[in-house]
Amino acid sequence: MSLSGLLGLSSGGRAAVIGCGGKTSLIALLARELDEQKVLVTPTARIRPMQGAALCITPAQCLRHQPRAGIQCFGVLDEATGKLTALPLALLSELQQSYDLVLMEADGSRGLLCKGYEPYEPVIPDFATHTIGVVNILALNRPATPETVHHLPLFLTQTGLSEGDPIDIRAIAAMLCHPGGMLRRRIGKTALVINGVTDQAQLRAARRLLEAVLANCSFTPDACIAGCTRNTIWHAL
């Protein structure tokens, strides 16, 4: 089955992709898989401009752009970072209606493997139909330090770890399931993507993580897959 099929994403979908350790790569895979449709890729936080996409980097350009089959990447260019920041929400809400599929990078983790969540994060528009949470199995056994975790003090509070402790399956599940954690603002169908899984030992760890999520979250994900955005092999869990 296709990646979009495993995630239950099809024409008409508006997916907010959140989490750590593979959001941008996952969005690129989904966009290219479905590029016979009119696909809009855009941030509600920040995103790197997508190579090969039709690019609009100001609100005025985005308003003028005529939707067409293929990938369009919209945002406001931050020249200091080279990234696209979010369009005004009212404008995005209007523009997204002209596209078959909308993929939103709705979270920021500064390229780190884990994150603690501020009260306003992640930024998921109310028109979203899917929330896709991304975690990376490579976080396991890494120390909970600023080099590994974005917003470390919040992460420690939300997981119960102390600084320097190894990040275990319980902590990753808490990052997802805590009342202040990653998935608390989810909208629509919820899918979990466990990235970085390339061998049988990591696949077993991914299954243990799903068990911990099912035991600790107040909801059940509609889909959960494990695999790696680098080799595009996925397993439904």
Domain boundaries, the chain: 3-40+102-236
Place of tokens 């399956």: 169
Give the pLDDT confidence of 176-230 residue by residue, as tens digits: 999 999 999 999 999 999 999 999 999 999 999 999 999 999 999 999 999 999 9
pLDDT higher than 90, residue 62 = yes
Round to whole Å and give the CA distance between 172 and 139.
Answer: 8
The percentage of the chain sitting over the pLDDT mark of 90, rounded to a whole number, equals 99
**How do 70-74 and 101-105 pair as beta strands?**
unpaired
pLDDT, tens only, 144-177: 999 999 999 999 999 999 999 999 999 999 999 9
To which H or E segment does residue 86 belong? none
Burial class (CB in 10 A: 0-12, 13-18, 19+), 208: middle
Write down the CATH number for the domain with range 3-40+102-236.
Answer: 3.40.50
- Hey, CA dihedral for 196, 198, 202, 224, is it positive or negative? positive
Contact present, 9 and 30 (Cβ < 8 Å): yes
For the record, the structure tokens of 169 come out as: 């399956």
Measured between alpha carbons, how far is 233 from 206 in angstroms, rounded to an integer? 14
pTM value is: 0.97
Could you give the percent of the chain with pLDDT greater than 70?
100
Tokens, residue 6: 């495993």
